[in-house]
Structure formats: structure tokens, C-alpha cells
């Protein structure tokens, strides 16, 4: 897998979590793009299963990316619903990448998140039909 493919999988996973509304202020996020433009990302994404040398547990803990709505509420995008085989493919890719490039978990996740964010934001606005 290339980094581009990984980013496409992440974006597809995140897109499946829209439309949604902020539970506090009710702001409507029609698309992932709306969400990326409106919210403020918090730190880097968290992947609970990403430990070098850690085995493959039966039940993945999952991944989560947190952002703050402008009203201050923290919203999350998660790996929930992703096919386990695909999730583990991503984890294994990430571990190889960290080893190869000497990146920390935080650095790699930050890099992926920035790239995904940029790609989502630069996509043309879909027609409102
Ligand atoms: Zn809000």
C-alpha cells in the first residue's frame, strides 16, 4: 500500500460518518469537508492498537481523531465499522512506515492527518442535489 492509498481509505472511513450534527450547538455538518473546514483539530489522531512489536489482539481497540466544534464541544471520528482486515492492514502499514522512516507514532499520525485534511479540503464542493 502507498501512503496515497492509505489516505483514501481513511477519508472513505471518515466520510461514512456524515452527515451529522454537533450534539451541543446543533451545527450541521453535511460532509466531511464541512467538518474539516469548521472544526479545529486537537493534537494528533489516536490509534490505540499501534504499538511496535505488540501482537495483533483479537479485538482491536480502534482509532479516533478528535476535533473541537466552534462551540467548544469535542467531536470524534472513529474507526468504528471499518472491516477488521482493513483496519489491521492499516496498522501493519503504519508500523512498517514508522520503522522505515524512524517516525514516532505521533509524527506518522500527524502526517497522515494533515495529508487527509488537505485532500478533503481541496476537493471540489459536491453539488447540493
Ligand atoms: Zn458545536
**Residue 28 maps to a domain:** yes
C-alpha cell of residue 96: 512498517
Average pLDDT over residues 117-122: 94
- Cα 22 to ligand 1 centre (Å): 5
Strand bridging mode 40-41 / 28-29: unpaired
C-alpha cell of residue 126: 459536491
- Cα 82 to ligand 1 centre (Å): 26
- Cα 75 to ligand 1 centre (Å): 9
- Cα 35 to ligand 1 centre (Å): 11
**Residue 115 maps to a domain:** yes
pTM: 0.85
**Residue 92 maps to a domain:** yes
**Residue 112 maps to a domain:** yes
Residue 75 has pLDDT above 80, yes or no: yes
- Comparing 7-11, 43-47, 85-89, which segment has the lowest mean pLDDT? 43-47
Domain range enclosing 80: 3-120
Residue 125 has pLDDT above 80, yes or no: no
- Cα 29 to ligand 1 centre (Å): 10
pLDDT for 31-43, tens place per residue? 999 999 999 998 7
- Cα 60 to ligand 1 centre (Å): 29
> How many domains does one find in the chain?
1
**Residue 126 maps to a domain:** no
**Residue 125 maps to a domain:** no
Mean pLDDT, all residues of the chain: 88
Average pLDDT over residues 66-74: 96
**CA atoms lying within 13 Å on the CB side of residue 81:** 10
Contacts of 91 (CB under 8 A, 6+ apart): 47, 49, 50, 56, 60
- Cα 32 to ligand 1 centre (Å): 15
CB 60 within 8 A of CB 87: yes
- Cα 71 to ligand 1 centre (Å): 4
What distances in angstroms separate CA 18 from CA 1, 31, 66, 84, 92, one per listed residue? 26, 5, 15, 21, 27
**Residue 110 maps to a domain:** yes
Amino acid at each position: 500500500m502507498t501512503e496515497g492509498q492509505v489516505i483514501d481509505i481513511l477519508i472513505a472511513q471518515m466520510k461514512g460518518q456524515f452527515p451529522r450534527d454537533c450534539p451541543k450547538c446543533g451545527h450541521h455538518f453535511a460532509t466531511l469537508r464541512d467538518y474539516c473546514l469548521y472544526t479545529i483539530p486537537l493534537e494528533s489522531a489516536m490509534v490505540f492498537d499501534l504499538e511496535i512489536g505488540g501482537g495483533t489482539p483479537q479485538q482491536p481497540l480502534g482509532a479516533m481523531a478528535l476535533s473541537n466544534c466552534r462551540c467548544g464541544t469535542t467531536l470524534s471520528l472513529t474507526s468504528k465499522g471499518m472491516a477488521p482486515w482493513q483496519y489491521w492492514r492499516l496498522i501493519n502499514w503504519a508500523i512498517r512506515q514508522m520503522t522505515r522512516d524512524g517516525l514516532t507514532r505521533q509524527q506518522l499520525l500527524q502526517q497522515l492527518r494533515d495529508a487527509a485534511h488537505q485532500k478533503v479540503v481541496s476537493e471540489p464542493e459536491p453539488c447540493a442535489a
